[in-house]
Each structure stands twice: as structure tokens, then as C-alpha cells.
Amino acid sequence: MAILNIITEEDERLRKISRPVDEINSRIITLLDDMRQTLIKANGAGLAAVQVGVLRRIALVCYEEGNIIELINPEIVSSEGEQDELEGCLSLPDKWGLVKRPETVTVKAMNRNGEEFTVTASGLGARAFCHEIDHLDGIIYTDKAYKMLTAEELEELYE
């Protein structure tokens, strides 16, 4: 397993739409394993394949007490409610913004064995699923943020 480089907002690949995974092969399994190690090392809430320069519809999300869920070809099938919270991104270090997201989402995806499943999450989990799936569509959270915070404003929030 390898730690992958996380690309930053200057890289035009972050704005591209990722292609679906048609076949789960050894390259996809290796990518999932490498992304897991990269996410753990970066201490993030989630990681999309595009963030490591791979334009495939794959994302990982830290879910329920530190468990990492792998999502292949994920799609949001339902959402409800609204939350308005602070959001950041491993590809945009030291930037934070306020973003409205659904309070609860249900996501349909495949696992590494090609089995389809659904998962429902609320709060931070819902936010992470939405954030990572947006990445797969070339959308960065700053596109949806209604306010970006300065370092001083961020510090005031946590005093």
C-alpha cells in the first residue's frame, strides 16, 4: 500500500467529472487500499479518487466511529432536512467555508466485491457523503459555500 499525493485546487482535474467504474479489478482494489492509507494519514473525513488524480467514481468516507466506508459509483438516492455547517477539504488546505447540505442522505453504491448496498447518514456523515460525491462531479465545496471564513473568523468560532 502507498500513500498517494492529494492534489490541490490549482489542479484542473478537480473540476472534471469522474468516469464510472465498469469493472472492479486489481487496480481498483489497490486504489481503494492506497486511498484508505492516504485518508488515514491525512486525518480527513473523506477522500474522492479525483483528489489523488484518478478520475473514477470512487470515494471513501469516515463513517460511524472511525470506520471507513468504500463507495464505488455512489449516488445520492434521497435526502431530507438541512444543516448549515463549517466545511473544509484536504484539497484546499487551510480554507473553511459555511455550506448548506441535507441533514440526512441515503447513498447507493457498490463495495469492493461488486455488491450493491445503501447507507443512510445524518449530520457529519451526510455532509461527508455529499462533499465526496460532489468531488466526483467536479464540484468543490467552495462552489456551494455562502461564506468563506478568514483565519480570524475561524479562530473566533472556536474560542
Handedness of CA 107, 112, 117, 121 (dihedral sign): negative
| Closest C-alpha among 69, 67, 159, 150 to residue 108 | 69
Catalytic residues, by residue number, are: 132
Helix (H) / strand (E) element for 40: namely: helix 26-42
Residue holding cell 451526510? Answer: 126
